[in-house]
Amino acid sequence: MTAPYAQHCILPPGLLYRLARCDEEALRDAALNALALDGRFRLARAESAARLLQLPRPVTFAWIGGQPQRTIYDQQHSESQTPGVVMRVEGQAPSKDQAVNQAYDGLGATYSFYWTVFERDSIDGASMPLLGLTHYGRRYPNAFWDGAGHMFFGDGDGRILTQTTAGIDVIGHELTHGVIQHEANLTYSGQSGALNESVSDVFGIQVKQYALGQDVHSSDWLIGADVVGPLLRPALRSMKQPGTANPYDDQPADMNGYVPGGDVHINSGIPNHAFYVVATTLGGHAWDAAGPIWYAALADPQLRPNATFRDFARITVRHARQTYGASSDQTHAVQQGWEAVKVPLC
């Protein structure tokens, strides 16, 4: 069962706890407010994920796919979990509200990536509607997938985060939590929780690269660069150099720095860097080979909710061998990626 304290937010709770202890009153209040709002969704997310463990995967016939079903709401700064005023629905012209349009475009970019690259029809693979709730709370510095079909966007406090709808990778990251929920349902604690966060970063960065037409060498491999405020610049996380994204970044780049019992957002730097090594070793686009290998591993029935880094690594190697051959460049790159972060394969 998913841990009851699971929270699929783009901003790590550990960082918010640190900011909540700072001397600056405005910053402290912003962090405490964010933590209070985040906490309201923890149990609901955990219960939603737990229910999926008990349900058979639905079989849907005769759907075509290829077209998202987006609805963007304005929460008008309320803290309600109920969708607010409808601002834009699928096919409508742009709104006068920039955040609404950014949410609409980001949800569309994520759908387009998953459909074009993997023929996955929305989060659940069965045309789930994509619902974006903008202007959530007052100066709320976070964005999250609630586990029940909604993505919430805060406007940011201006210091920690700015307008969260501006981050295509953030939207891709959060919606990928939903994909994970419908596939391996990785438990949100320990190494499986770090994998949950890492896989979300892996596909979040690919959504951004795909939308911008970037290859593995032109990408900055930074998560959240478009939403961080001055306190966290230049980004929330770096897949290229974990631990260097901002003054508070304490992610390890390999198992030598693994933090036993550490927050899932910290240890996720290890599998993040493994993917970066694989993708840049192969060159081209991340979704040419590295992305499909990771996606196949995520969808593999042998990937259990409590999987370790080693479990996931071995599944990625197996899929690389099955698809490309044991002596292929792709298989060697996957092996090198896990070796680089010191995750044993045997």
Task: Write out the catalytic residue numbers.
Answer: 174, 265
Token pair 């834009």: residue: 88
Helix axes 190-212, 290-298, angle to 10 degrees: 140
- Cβ-based neighbours of 262, under 8 Å, separated by 6 or more: none
Q: Which two tokens stand for residue 45?
A: 């997310």
> How far is residue 253's CA from residue 328's CA, in Å, rounded to a whole number?
26
Rounded Cα distance, 294 and 239, in Å: 15
Tokens of 205: 């960065």
Which of 240, 117, 96 shows the shortest CA–CA distance to 109?
Answer: 117
Q: What are phi and psi of 206, to 5 degrees?
A: -70, -35
Report residue 337: phi and psi, to 5°. -60, -45
* Encoded tokens for 181: 């929920």
Q: 59 by DSSP, 3-state: which?
A: coil
The set of residues, in sequence order, having a beta carbon less than 8 Å from that of 78 and lying 6+ positions away, is 84, 136, 137
**What is the edge-to-edge ordering of all strands in the sheet holding 143-145?**
85-89, 70-74, 130-134, 150-153, 143-145
Angle at CA of residue 154, ends 176 and 171, nearest 5°: 20
Distance CA 75, CA 100 (A): 11
Q: At 227, list the tokens.
A: 């939403």
Q: What is the dihedral of CA 120, 150, 110, 157, to 10 degrees?
A: -160
